[in-house]
Amino acid sequence: GIAIRGSDVDVVWINGYGWPMYTGGPMFWADTVGLAQVADRIKHYGSTLGGEHWTISPLIEELVAQGDSLSTYTN
């Protein structure tokens, strides 16, 4: 991968794609609301809207099962 930390992704999304700065970026936001909540919403959208892009990544599933967060994940 190119990004080493979740904050690397946050910087790209805030500065390159217009993600709202006040949320801290998508990775920070996901940790703030909780990965379990994010996973639940992805499952909901996957079941109602369909499409491959609503498939939960194995990493998110693993972190939710461990009660961990993106900010503490090290690969």
Per-residue pLDDT tens digits for 6-30:
899 999 999 999 999 999 999 999 9
Domains and CATH numbers, the chain: 6-66 (1.10.1040.10)
Is 0.85 topped by the overall pTM? no
Inter-residue contact 71 to 28 (CB < 8 Å): yes
Inter-residue contact 67 to 57 (CB < 8 Å): no
CA–CA distance, 69 with 64 (Å, rounded to integer): 8
Average model confidence (pLDDT) across the chain: 93
Residue ranges of the alpha helices (H) in 1-75?
Answer: 6-16, 26-33, 35-49, 58-66
